Amino acid sequence: MRVYPTAEQAAVLNRMFGCVRLVWNTVLAWRQARYRAEGVTTSYAQTDRYLTELKRDGGHDFLYEVSSVPLQQALRHQYMAFVNFFAGRVRYPRFKSRHGRQCATYTRSAFSWKDGRLHLAKVNGPIEFVWSWPQIDPATINPTTVTVSRDRDGRWYAAFAVETESGPKPLPATGGQVGIDLGVTHFAVLSTGETIPNPRHLERKARNLARYQRRMARKQQGSNNRAKAKAKVARAHTKVRNARADFLHRTSTRLVRDHDLLVIEDLNVKGMVRNRSLARAISDCGWGEFRRQLEYKTARAGRRLVVVDRWFPSSKTCSACGHLLTTLSLSTRHWTCPGCGTRHDRDVNAAKNILAAGRAVSACGADVSHSGSSRVRSAVKQEVQPARVGIPSL
């Protein structure tokens, strides 16, 4: 939710952000130097003791001016970041910058929530906020942690973690199944023939962004006018980011609500953005975020998401008879199958094949890795073959 701290409160919170960033970077550098010198890993307890020594060395007395809880939480977050890194879930933890999003996490010992009013440790007075859930009385919740953050555009937010008795309930079955072919011209083409237009949020705001960036470039380094111009650039990017997130959430939620089985391709987005001609357009689509949303929304709603191998030839395979073309250029948007004479729209045909591959995976248990692609193609061909000869498919 949005929060609106006073000038005095903002100064205290900005000081807190700086201390959290300093502790994170100092401990991370110490951890790396210790590993290079001694070849040993560092536990959370050791970093906690190092923080105590850091406060007592005489050069970091300002750390006593802020609450100690966010500093300890930063160490916990760093420890979990390394745990996730060694487990292969995330990349290596990096140093924090003062130019990006700043945040600090408070636990119950460092904040109070009484009658819907938020008080933070060593921050005078309650922090004003706008409650975003009219159906819930803020006085009835009992948050366990609160994370206060400030974006690059100068907006402040607070995120609550609240314990609930039960999670979201699975949605009722609809019997719907859909294959999704992602693209740039159209954001997605469904196996039903529906096309979801690509809103191109960044392209629509490109002229405004360029104008704001030119104005910022003409300002003197370190001046207040440059800071104001930089905030305008950040706000323009925030509008693009929020519009893209809204579109992805609406699209993914509708697909999950209407279908029991959703099938998508495993796109190599990281490799595709290396094409300098298409990098901006591909990044503006947000395919990775769309897949992430589908993954957690299908799990929460009791649906199933199947990811087909990226090497599966969905565009070159006839969805009517299973004939596989030798080559198919990217510029060819329509083609006629030489086996059965069916005229295909490239994207709709690909979406139908993706759905057929997902059904085959569900039915025969074939994997979707590169080694299992041949088995998936065979299962897909068996599934579409009866439709050609007029035998009802099972």
DSSP type of residue 322: -
Q: Is 265 a catalytic residue?
A: yes
Exposed e or buried b for every residue in 127-139, given b needs 16+ CB within 10 A?
bebeeeeeeeebe
Give, in degrees to the nearest 5, the angle at Cα 63 between 60 and 64.
115
Which one from 284, 309, 347, 383 is the annotated catalytic residue?
347
Closest by Cα among 202, 199, 201 to 187: 199
Spell out the alpha helix ranges (H) of the chain: 7-38, 44-56, 68-86, 201-204, 206-217, 224-258, 269-272, 279-285, 287-301, 346-364, 373-389
Which one from 260, 265, 284, 309 is the annotated catalytic residue?
265
Which one from 181, 260, 284, 383 is the annotated catalytic residue?
181
Q: Is 181 a catalytic residue?
A: yes
Q: How far apart are CA 271 and CA 282, in angstroms?
A: 11
Determine the residue type at 169. K
Q: Which two tokens stand for residue 203?
A: 């392209």
Q: Contact, 265 vs 310, CB < 8 A?
A: yes
Query: In DSSP terms, which residues pair with 182 in a beta bridge?
Result: 188
| Count of Cβ atoms closer than 10 Å to residue 291 Cβ | 20
DSSP type of residue 364: H
Catalytic positions, please? 181, 265, 347
